[in-house]
Structures are given as C-alpha cells and as structure tokens.
Structure 1
C-alpha cells in the first residue's frame, strides 16, 4: 500500500521563470528544510540539475537526535518536460518508495500553479501500519515540509524580482559553510554565476583554488569576476588560547590581505567592482549594556573587537583600487543546523533552557535566510558601501530569546544557567565575549539600502526554521 500527498502553491511569477528557478543549481539547498521529517541535508548537489538521471546525495534526520544523526538518501531525477513538469524519486534510502512529481501550470492571471504530488510507501515492516503512519506521521510532516518550501520559494522569487539587474559572476569564499552555502544557492537561483574559492583546490570550472596559509592566490583567476564575497574564517566557538587567537586572527585578516593584494594585481578593466567581507557585531566589544549601536558607534574592548577592526581595515585596502567595499557586521545567526541555536535545541526540547547569566544581555539575532539574503543584497546593490549591521530589526534580551524559541517548541524556559557552565567549556574570556556580551544593534542603514526582511520578529523566524508555523 502507498500513501499519496498533494500540495498546491500559487505564485504571481510566470511559469517559465518559476521552472527556470527550479532548474538552477541552488534550488535544492534553498528548498530543503532544516528541521527534519524528510530529506533535510544536502550532502552532494545534483549531478546534472533536474534532468533525467541526475542524482543528489541527501540525509534524513533520525527522530529524537535533533538533526545530529542522518540516514543516507539518494534522489534520482526521472521524467522531465520543461516547463511543464519534472520528477524525482528516492533511489536509496529509509523508505520503501518516495516519488515526487512537480507539475507547473499557467494560471489565468499569468502566474503559476505548482502541484506537488508525493507518493510514499513504507518499508515492509511498517506496511501494516500505513494508515496510522500516513495520518499521524506522514501527512503532518509533509505539511511542514511543503509549507516551508512554499515560503522559501515565494520569498526567493520576490528577492530576485527586486534584484532584477544584470546577471553577475561572483567569487565566494567560505562557500561550504552555514552562511556561504545559502548565499551561493540564493545567488544561483537568481541566474547569477557563482565561482567558489576553495582552499587547496585546483582552479577549474566553477572553482578558484587558493591557499591563504601559504599566501597563494593567482590574480588571473580573479579576472572577469564582478564581485568577491569573503566569508571564510576559523571558528570562534572555542577557548581563546594564544594559539587559537593567532589562528582566528590570521584566518580572517591574513586571508583578506591576500585577497586585496591579488585584486590589486588584476588589470583595472578586468578587476572585480566590489569586495564584500564578513565582520561581526563583536566589533562593538563588551560592556555596551543597553546602548543602541549604529555603524558609527565606536569599536569596543576585547579580542573579537580587535579582530573585527583589523579585518575591516584589511578589506578597506581594496578601496585604493577603486573597488566598492562592504563590511558585513553579522549578528547571531539562527538555524537548527548551526550557529547559535543548534547547541541549544536539545536543552530547549527537554525543557531545560532558560535565562543565561541573568538573561539581561541583548542578543542581536538574524535568521539564516535573512543573513544570506542580506549578504546577496549588499553584493548586488551598487551603492551599498562601508560597514552594515546585519541583524533582525528587533533584538531580544537573552531571557526573552530563550522563552520565545522554547515557546515555539511548546516547552518552558525557566531553568537559569549560570555562566560557570560556559566558563568551564570556553574559558573566562570567550564566555565574556561570546555568551555574556550585550549587543543591541540598529539596522537602519541596511533597511535604508532597500533590504526587505523575511522574518523581522523572533517568533516568526523560529516558527519558520523549526517548521512550527500554525
């Protein structure tokens, strides 16, 4: 026996545009939900888009592991008739059968109706419980998955409609990271060409090989690139030992200096027009309390503030070559698959979260999709220049943050957590700068540049990324 599920999505964009979005390489990462219940991890991109025979390697979360344990899932594309329909099926995975048929129809208003038809058959040991699985498990999970996909698709198409200028070629470092992978996918679905800067890789189709540790980057590889986006850097979620501090500083400042030197050696007529470099709201240091921080606020105290100052200074060197430079002062990025939220989810799900270190410190958070959207927006917006605070417009005190996200999971958030716990893991300095720091940033400059947020309030963002929209 099989279970059949149908979901319909109505869009204002014409069918050819919507189908083309699905054909591009970033479509699968953009549509894959981060909260489980189906394929929720892209391990290997489709080998040949959505054409017949193309395969992608995915993962599906094991229930109760909070996305930390995945089972392998191989998807294979079958029938294909652009712009009318395409199909994919599970070639290998944890079900007896999974087939997904995507049908695209024109509407009377000139828009598009997507009809997703999914056929699911469980493994033999579950066949006798199919009705129970279908009604109590499969249908609710598929509702969550396709509601997420619909929100993603509508927001991405709206983003591309807003940024309908010439299609660019962009080089991106840190392209496999939490933020970089989504920046690349968003740009690709808009028809832009993304070239990935890969450490130790060989320069070839779609790849620029470089080695920041050895100072190696061929300036010729940057010729013809329109914008460079530099998002790489050693993780800061660690003890700030002298060795780790050197690694964190060198991975950001050293690599940026290398990029700027190489850009200066590119002939002016072939040189990229813009350099977008990550920074962080750690620029403002510690001890800022309730102060509202704008891009004109002074830098603060602490190791991370020093890193951000040097990082931004290195990037600013590209202005000597007539390039537009943007420093992205990143807030606390939210996703179940990484960043601030991932390590907190098991405690929240268990009802063991609550105020940390008193909970009065401000957290300037931002959802992963808005983080990727803001970076892409600043790369594509020709008059965007200088530092930008990139966080949601509504920062939250830590105790309210914990209460809101736990509430979306229908869990309490009343268990106080003293800073002694983080200090035991991270040490005193990292705890002070990562956990106890208070940053209440203003994002008026980002809004004035024309960026349109997908999720301005924390509850709406948490509902989206956790698949708990009512």
Structure 2
C-alpha cells in the first residue's frame, strides 16, 4: 500500500514569485539535499523545466556509503497548472512508487502556503506489509529532506528580495565545481541569465566555449555580459610536487590572464562591468597563529600564498579597463559532497575522529550555501570591490571543529589524528599549508557590504548540511 507525507511551508512572498522560483532551472540543485536518505544528487537537470513531460535524472545515496554510492532515479513532471501546482513522479528508481505534488496557495496576508504532498510506496507492491516497515523508516528521512528544502527556499527568497535590482547576464567559469554549481543555481532562481564557460565546448545557448590551456576565448562571446565570475582551478588537495604546483599555479593565473585579455578586447559599451575571481585565505600563508587577519593584512609565506598573490594580481589587470574587480578569499567550504568535510565524514560517523595536528590551529570555515550566497552577493553589489575574506563570522579552533561536527552526528571526537597521517598522503608541504595552517580571518568587510549569513555558527551549519537536529 502507499503512504502519504505532507509538509507545509508558509512564506511572506506572493504566490507568483514563489512559483516562478520553482520554474527556474536552478531550483532543483538548490532544493536537493547534500545528505543521504532521498534524491541527493542531480545528474541531469530537467529537460524542460517543470512542464509536463520534462525529465530529470538524480541519484539516491546507498545507506552506509557516505554518499559515495548512488542508485539512479529518473523523475518525470506531470500535471501542471501555474501558479497553483505541479507534479513529478519517479518513473524509474529504487522505490516502489513516488509522486510529489507541489501545491501553492495564497494566504490572507498576501503570502504563500507551499504544500508538498508525497505519495510513496518504499517497496514493490508484492512486498506487502514490509512496506509498513519501510514507511516507518522513510518518514524521518522525509522530514529531514523537507526541513532542508524549507530552509533553502526561505533563505533563497529572502536573498533575492534583498538583491531586487535589474536582472543581469552573468558568465561563470568553474560552473561545474562544488561552489560554481550552487552559485549558478542561486543566480538562476533569482531570474538572472547564467552563461557557463565550458572547456572545449562550442559556444551556444547558455554556454561560452573556451580553452584556457590553448589561450582560446572569443572576446565577442563576452559582449553584453554584465559580470564575469571565475571560480575555476586545479584541485589543491594533493601532494605539492613540482609538476602539480606548476599546474595549480597555471590553471588559475593563465585562465585569469586569458579572461582579462579577452575583456580588454570588448568594446567599452559592451564590456562587462565587473570581474569576480576566486582566491583563498591561503593568501595569508602559514604560521599566523592567533593573529586576526583582515583584508589589509600582509600576505604570508608558502606556495599557496604565492598562488593567491599571482592570481589576484592577474585579476586586477581588468581594473585598467574600468571594471570593478573583486577577489574572493575563500575559507574552508563545508559540504558533505566535497571540500574539507567529505573525507572526514566516514571517520566521524564511525566515532573515530578527533583533534587533528594538535587541534590548536584556527579554521575559518563557511557553509556551501553561504559561500555561494557571498559570491552571488559580491557579483550583484555594484559597490563591492577589492579583496573580501569570505568565511563565517565565527572561526573555531580545529579541536572545536571536530567536536562540534561529530557532536551533530551524535558521535564522540576523542581520537587524535597526528600530522603523520596527512603527511603520508599529502606530503610535508601540503600538510603544513592545508592541514596545519592557522587562519583566523575577520569578515567585517563582507558584513559591511550588506551580506546576511544563513549560518554564522558551526553547529547550525553542520545541522543544516548534514540534515541533523539536536
């Protein structure tokens, strides 16, 4: 037999605005939770929005695999009556049946009641009463999923209310990465047009083809773009061999120089107004201890500090053309699907985590949604310029980080990890700059620019991205 689950969300925004948010291409990535228990990986965006017949391909995490193993899930949209409701159902996947009806009702105060009605049968019909057991297991997972979706929807709508200026055309390099995917989705749900710079791809609808390795980018493809955002670069989570260091530096500096050259060849009346380029708090180097680091603090020692200096210097070449240039000095981005947290989760779930490298070093962290929100905010804010520390307002020591996140998982964090472990994997230099470095950054400039954090403290961030509550 089937079971029905209902979740209701009351919003202050009018129904047409809320429904329009769901119609836009970024809605599915924004609503898809990064933790297991439901569809938590977007493999292929809806083929035709939420209109009948549109298909999307997702994945559902296999329990116990920490998001590393997914089963395929294909959803098809059915009935559709804007702005009142739309439906989607699983046409193939691991459940016996799944249909989701999204209902939008006007409230007396001009807001919106969103009612999510899910009809689900966990197992095939022949499983009989085992479906009752499956329903008891699924209900808590559905509660986690829809609580996450409500927080995402509410915060995104508030973000777009704050940034209610003209809708822009924004070109994004690094659009398929952990941060870039969410930056694009957030901008799209706000009604902005996003053009993705794709390596080797032909320029076409929604895509600008380029090849940073060969220095290929047609300046005409940037005409009429309002803002360019560059978030790409070779991963730094590796041994710093001479070859890797060359690739890490080249992938950032050469691609930024290519962008700046192309921007300089666009006529002034058609040239983008701003260039927003990623950097990192690695700019401040190692050995900073308890020092509070502002954007005016001197750059430090080490390979990553050198990379960031050269990267920022390349980006500032665009200032010659009268463009607003922003350097996003990124903190440690938290998500169970990538970045700092992903490789630590299996040990944390097993209760085998604890202070790393003594645990005294400061970690300036930021949740993925605030990372995406800050980048979008800096792209949309005409008065934002220069370097910005982009991290949560409350940095923590590594010992507290391990204890807090493990606590959200209801696990202890008492097993210390000496630096010998990371050194065996990453080598001495990468361990010193990635694991042992202490960065206590101040984000007063970002706050003064008007950015409103979703999660200022580590516990609330971890609870959100892991789908856990006290």
Please give the range of the TM-score, normalised by the shorter of the 2 chains: over 0.9
Tell me what 1:133 maps to.
134
CA distance in 1 between counterparts of 2:19 and 2:127 reads 36
Partner secondary structure for residue 208 of structure 1: strand
Q: Any residues of structure 2 matched to 1:49-448 within 5 Å, and which?
A: 49-124=49-124, 126-135=127-136, 137-448=137-448
CA distance in 2 between counterparts of 1:130 and 1:42 reads 27
Tell me what 1:8 maps to.
8
Deviations 1:87-123 (CA, angstroms, capped at 9, x unpaired): 0000110011100000000000000001110011122
Question: What's the CA shift for 1:469?
Answer: 2.4
CA distance in 2 between counterparts of 1:131 and 1:108 reads 38
Q: CA 1:287/1:17 → structure 2, altered by over 3 Å: closer, same or farther?
A: same
Question: What's the CA shift for 1:60?
Answer: 0.2
CA distance in 1 between counterparts of 2:282 and 2:61 reads 33
CA distance in 1 between counterparts of 2:70 and 2:349 reads 19
CA distance in 2 between counterparts of 1:222 and 1:61 reads 39
Partner secondary structure for residue 87 of structure 1: strand
CA distance in 1 between counterparts of 2:376 and 2:122 reads 40
| Length-normalised TM-score, structure 1 | 0.99
CA distance in 1 between counterparts of 2:300 and 2:152 reads 37
Q: RMSD value over aligned CA atoms?
A: 0.6
Partner secondary structure for residue 270 of structure 1: coil
Unaligned runs of 5+ in 1: none
Question: What's the CA shift for 1:397?
Answer: 0.2
CA distance in 2 between counterparts of 1:4 and 1:445 reads 47
Partner secondary structure for residue 307 of structure 2: helix
Question: What's the CA shift for 1:126?
Answer: 4.1
Deviations 1:294-316 (CA, angstroms, capped at 9, x unpaired): 00000000000000000000000
CA distance in 2 between counterparts of 1:66 and 1:253 reads 34
CA distance in 1 between counterparts of 2:48 and 2:422 reads 45
Question: What's the CA shift for 1:130?
Answer: 1.9
Partner secondary structure for residue 326 of structure 1: strand
- The answer to whether the 8 A contact 2:122-2:135 is kept is no
Partner secondary structure for residue 205 of structure 2: coil
Partner secondary structure for residue 360 of structure 1: coil
| Length-normalised TM-score, structure 2 | 0.99
CA distance in 2 between counterparts of 1:330 and 1:164 reads 25
Partner secondary structure for residue 212 of structure 1: coil
- The answer to whether the 8 A contact 2:121-2:135 is kept is no
- The answer to whether the 8 A contact 2:9-2:115 is kept is yes
CA distance in 2 between counterparts of 1:439 and 1:328 reads 15
CA distance in 2 between counterparts of 1:123 and 1:109 reads 42
Question: What's the CA shift for 1:133?
Answer: 1.9
CA distance in 2 between counterparts of 1:403 and 1:453 reads 23
Deviations 1:18-42 (CA, angstroms, capped at 9, x unpaired): 0000000000000000011110000
- The answer to whether the 8 A contact 2:155-2:454 is kept is yes
- The answer to whether the 8 A contact 2:283-2:299 is kept is yes
Question: What's the CA shift for 1:138?
Answer: 1.1
Deviations 1:62-92 (CA, angstroms, capped at 9, x unpaired): 0000000000000100000000000000011
CA distance in 1 between counterparts of 2:383 and 2:373 reads 17
Partner secondary structure for residue 214 of structure 1: coil
Tell me what 1:25 maps to.
25
CA distance in 2 between counterparts of 1:218 and 1:117 reads 48
CA distance in 2 between counterparts of 1:232 and 1:33 reads 24
How many residue pairs get matched? 469
CA distance in 2 between counterparts of 1:404 and 1:5 reads 32
